[in-house]
Chains A and B, each alone.
Chain A
Amino acid sequence: MNYVITVNTEKCLGCKSCELQCAVTHSKSKVLFIAVREEPLPQQRVSVESVGGLALPLQCRHCGNAPCVSICPTHALEKAGPEAPVIIKEELCIGCKWCILICPFGVIGMNREGKAAIKCDLCLERVKMGKQPACVEACPTGVLSFVKIEEVIKEKKRKFLVDFEKGEKSARGE
């Protein structure tokens, strides 16, 4: 699929709607009003973190050369191809937490039973149905978007050229 979730660092209001909808999407019922009473309670895979005045949703970047996949002793973490998301097979996970330790972003957690790691699955099921990941759809200010990496690159080039033409950036990008 080669899609990534992009984050606009200027628009997050810290409402945590992405967290909420992430948990609902990973619940049994997929309905908020029912999910709040499920056992065990569903868990979110994205979290809004803040430092100073900056608040941002953080979730798995689905790295190309993912350290969590490399280090996993039971092959519970898997990346099926260069464009595929990093997925965890809970039944294989022994809960050793190596992936949590090695992840540079701190976006892997443990499930409620403490037996397996949990992480963002890029909403595979939703995406298959033609929907966007739950966090992207939930965001009321459009911080998150789900786009092809090629488009991101193209947009960056376009923006660089516009700034360059205006004389706001040197050829070195400064």
Chain B
Amino acid sequence: MSEVKERSVDLATQKILRKANEEDIVVAWDRFESMQPQCGFGELGICCRICNMGPCRIDPFGDGAQRGVCGANADTIVARNLARMIAAGAAAHSDHGRDVAHALLLSAQGKAGAYKIKDKAKLASLAGEYGIKVEGRKKEEIAEDLANKVLNEFGQQHGELRMALRAPKKRVELWRKLGIMPRGMDREIVEMMHRTNMGVGNDYKNILLHGMRAALSDGWGGSMLATELSDILFGTPQPIRGKSNLGVLAEDEVNVVVHGHEPTLSEVVVEASRDPEILSLIKEDGAKGINIAGICCTSNEILMRHGVPIAGNFLQQELALITGAVDLMMVDVQCLMPALSNVADCFHTKLITTSPKCKFPGVEHIEFKEEKAYEIAKDILKLAIENYKDRKKERVSIPKENEDLIAGFTAESVFSFLGGKYRATYRPLNDAIIAGRLRGAAGVVGCNNPNLKHNYAHIEMAKELIKNDVLVVTTGCSAIADAEAGLLQPEAAFKYAGKGLQEICETVGIPPILHVGSCVDNSRILITLTNVVNEGGLGEDISDLPVAGAAPEWMSEKAISIGFYFVASGVFTIFGTPHPILGSSNVTDLVCGGLEGMVGGKFAFEADPIKAAHLMIEHINKKREALKLKPMMYE
């Protein structure tokens, strides 16, 4: 087994990894080691399993087969595989959006009492965008119309996605010209699966062009709607304090960990945890209280809106259970390791699946229904409370690591704060960039992957960027990594940020790295970029802006979709380890080069976070030069 220090930079993680080793509990890092060496054909993307004449694989060194049975070459195979990853990622985000829209509809119809419309202002403005009459109508009426319009958009066959029209004018025109303006979320994903089916298109450029369309239907469609509708239902986040890392688990309270991505049930679980009946049951059971903590993006959703503590990110999901202190883990969808059930079996922990889309064999399933959300949430909490007495004290060890953080930033809130509470505007942000106090901004997002040291790349990349006066916005497991390293505190600006960024953080009272939410909330970054363009002075399109993006420890297909909608929106984007495309030099050259001429954004692959940060800084400098901005104030 590799040294725990080689596995993660996080101390709490290292402690639990040692415990896992002592107790012979297998975790993702062990499985990663037993998987070595991984299949080179898969890594290069040149294995095709699309039809039953195959599987076919291309010899990357030219001696063996250069074409599959049907005649597909490496370019076609690689492009199809990549395009299908985009489709799967876009499907996951968009289906999440659909579920939120469904909850909004039921709430508006009075069929789901647990859900109230929390942000009336956002409801009115979004309804306005969809051409729904607002004046003189009840919020429920407006919400019902909005939910129906949105739900119809998933299956819309023609026309353009309403959210995509939010992009800068020049960008929308470019998408139209390229024929990649997204029409409907489901439509683009289905068409992607069709186009990559046996015997359809084999022009790699044409395949990936539609890949971008499917990705845009995610970023400027499914994901953006997931964010907007969640804000309407659960409230638009405001800056809020929270805590992070395994140390948030409580020694003497009932620990319930919510894990996955969708906020619909976990929101209600948080509310139900304050129910008098639940509180009295806890007392009877001898626990001092009930502690809800989260993993992955379910965690980010309820952190952003309620300050609910984060227990960990993707690679810490098994570790949370290995503390021995989790009485119940409730999962919804996405990024859930099947291994959770094996790890839970090693302890008293009850694992509960809740989504009809996601069951684990042998694991208790309590199906979530919007109509009965509150009762279901209470039933789940009761199971946790009942299970608390079975917790074996001698097997519990909770690391003390537990960092304070500030989260809850949105396109509406933080950047308006920069202008002061009373004149909400992006002007000061744009001016700071124009004047050279800020070099630009970077989005650092994405997963963990045992193929890189846990959290290391997220943290070091973010630190290097802020050191160079690049404001960082973060989501998902990257945000959790930064939180665990104490980087989401205003004080981090003094420790790590360059002088210009430090001045801004000090004036406004914000951390140098802004947590803007879950992975669907990457759409908040798209809106922020658009607002910056619209504010003026930094070009006419997102591709003119001194900004860059990165997913340094990516693993999910969702990351590929996110990467492509950022690139197709004009953002230079770095992935740590490469996409599985290097088996085709044509596709690689397109993705890491040619795309820039088409959409203004492109990819680069660099696993070293410091080198990657400097590629981003170089790109930002190039954009500053093109915009003829002032030299950096402090260099």
1/0 per position for A17-50, CB-CB distance to B under 8 A? Answer: 1011101100000001101110001111000000
Q: Is the CB of A36 within 8 A of B61?
A: yes
Closest partner residue, chain A, to B65 (CB atom): A16
Confirm or deny: A92 has a beta carbon within 8 angstroms of a beta carbon on chain B.
no
Confirm or deny: B60 has a beta carbon within 8 angstroms of a beta carbon on chain A.
yes
Q: Is the CB of B40 within 8 A of A32?
A: yes
A-B contacts, 13 listed (Cβ < 8 Å): A16-B41, A16-B57, A17-B40, A19-B59, A20-B40, A20-B61, A21-B37, A21-B40, A32-B582, A33-B578, A36-B60, A44-B63, A138-B37
Q: Is the CB of A16 within 8 A of B582?
A: no
Q: Is the CB of B41 within 8 A of A41?
A: no
Which residues of B are found within 8 Å of A16, using beta-carbon distances?
Answer: 41, 57, 59, 64
B589 to chain A, nearest CB (A): 10
Q: How large is the interface on A (under 10, 10 to 19, 20 to 34, 35 or more residues)?
A: 20 to 34
Distance between Cα atoms of A20 and B42 in the complex (Å): 11
Given known A-B contacts A16-B64, A19-B64, A32-B44, A37 and B39 have beta carbons under 8 A apart: no
1/0 per position for B30-48, CB-CB distance to A under 8 A? Answer: 0000000101110110000
Q: Within the complex, which residue of A17, A20, A140 is in contact with B60, where a contact is CB–CB below 8 Å?
A: A20
B47 to chain A, nearest CB (A): 9
A19, A23, A33 pick with most chain B CB within 10 angstroms? A33
Distance between Cα atoms of A37 and B43 in the complex (Å): 15
Counted as pairs of residues, one from A and one from B, with CB atoms less than 8 Å apart, the total is 49
B residues 46-80 touching A (CB-CB < 8 Å): 57, 59-64
Confirm or deny: A78 has a beta carbon within 8 angstroms of a beta carbon on chain B.
no
1/0 per position for A48-85, CB-CB distance to B under 8 A? Answer: 00000000000000000000000000000000000000
Confirm or deny: B585 has a beta carbon within 8 angstroms of a beta carbon on chain A.
yes
B271 to chain A, nearest CB (A): 48
Distance between Cα atoms of A82 and B579 in the complex (Å): 47
- Dominant SS among interface residues on chain B: loop
Distance between Cα atoms of A127 and B518 in the complex (Å): 48
Which residues of B are found within 8 Å of A121, using beta-carbon distances?
Answer: none
Confirm or deny: A102 has a beta carbon within 8 angstroms of a beta carbon on chain B.
no
- Count contacts on B: residues with CB < 8 A to the other chain: 17
- Dominant SS among interface residues on chain A: helix
Distance between Cα atoms of A36 and B578 in the complex (Å): 13
B residues 545-602 touching A (CB-CB < 8 Å): 578, 582-583, 585
Which residues of B are found within 8 Å of A15, using beta-carbon distances?
Answer: 39, 41
Q: Within the complex, which residue of A32, A35, A43 is in contact with B63, where a contact is CB–CB below 8 Å?
A: A43
A28 to chain B, nearest CB (A): 13
Q: Is the CB of A36 within 8 A of B57?
A: no
Q: Is the CB of B37 within 8 A of A36?
A: no
Pick the 3 closest A-B CB pairs, nearest first. Answer: A20-B40, A41-B61, A36-B60
Distance between Cα atoms of A140 and B61 in the complex (Å): 21
Which residues of B are found within 8 Å of A37, using beta-carbon distances?
Answer: 585
Which residues of B are found within 8 Å of A19, using beta-carbon distances?
Answer: 59, 64
Distance between Cα atoms of A33 and B585 in the complex (Å): 11
Which residues of A are found within 8 Å of B43, using beta-carbon distances?
Answer: 32-33
B residues 343-398 touching A (CB-CB < 8 Å): none
Q: Within the complex, which residue of A21, A36, A41 is in contact with B44, where a contact is CB–CB below 8 Å?
A: A36
Q: Given contact pairs A17-B37, A42-B61, enumerate 7 new A-B contacts (beta carbons under 8 Å).
A: A16-B64, A17-B41, A20-B61, A36-B60, A41-B60, A41-B62, A44-B63
Q: Is the CB of B585 within 8 A of A23?
A: no
Distance between Cα atoms of A16 and B42 in the complex (Å): 12
Distance between Cα atoms of A15 and B54 in the complex (Å): 12
Q: Is the CB of B63 within 8 A of A137?
A: no
A46 to chain B, nearest CB (A): 11
Q: Is the CB of A23 within 8 A of B61?
A: yes
Which residues of A are found within 8 Å of B44, using beta-carbon distances?
Answer: 32-33, 36
Closest partner residue, chain B, to A134 (CB atom): B37
Distance between Cα atoms of A17 and B46 in the complex (Å): 13
Q: Is the CB of A44 within 8 A of B39?
A: no
Closest partner residue, chain A, to B578 (CB atom): A33
Closest partner residue, chain B, to A36 (CB atom): B60
Which residues of B are found within 8 Å of A20, using beta-carbon distances?
Answer: 40-41, 60-61
Distance between Cα atoms of A33 and B583 in the complex (Å): 8
Q: Is the CB of A140 within 8 A of B39?
A: yes
Distance between Cα atoms of A41 and B44 in the complex (Å): 15
B29 to chain A, nearest CB (A): 19
Q: Is the CB of B63 within 8 A of A36?
A: no
Distance between Cα atoms of A11 and B585 in the complex (Å): 33
B605 to chain A, nearest CB (A): 8
Distance between Cα atoms of A36 and B44 in the complex (Å): 9
Which residues of B are found within 8 Å of A44, using beta-carbon distances?
Answer: 61, 63
Distance between Cα atoms of A32 and B41 in the complex (Å): 10
Distance between Cα atoms of A28 and B64 in the complex (Å): 20
Which residues of B are found within 8 Å of A35, using beta-carbon distances?
Answer: 60-61
Which residues of B are found within 8 Å of A43, using beta-carbon distances?
Answer: 61, 63
A residues 122-174 touching B (CB-CB < 8 Å): 137-138, 140
Distance between Cα atoms of A42 and B59 in the complex (Å): 11
Closest partner residue, chain A, to B74 (CB atom): A36
Which residues of B are found within 8 Å of A17, using beta-carbon distances?
Answer: 37, 39-41
B residues 168-186 touching A (CB-CB < 8 Å): none
Distance between Cα atoms of A33 and B62 in the complex (Å): 15
Closest partner residue, chain B, to A27 (CB atom): B61
Which residues of A are found within 8 Å of B57, using beta-carbon distances?
Answer: 16
Which residues of A are found within 8 Å of B40, using beta-carbon distances?
Answer: 17, 20-21, 24, 32, 138
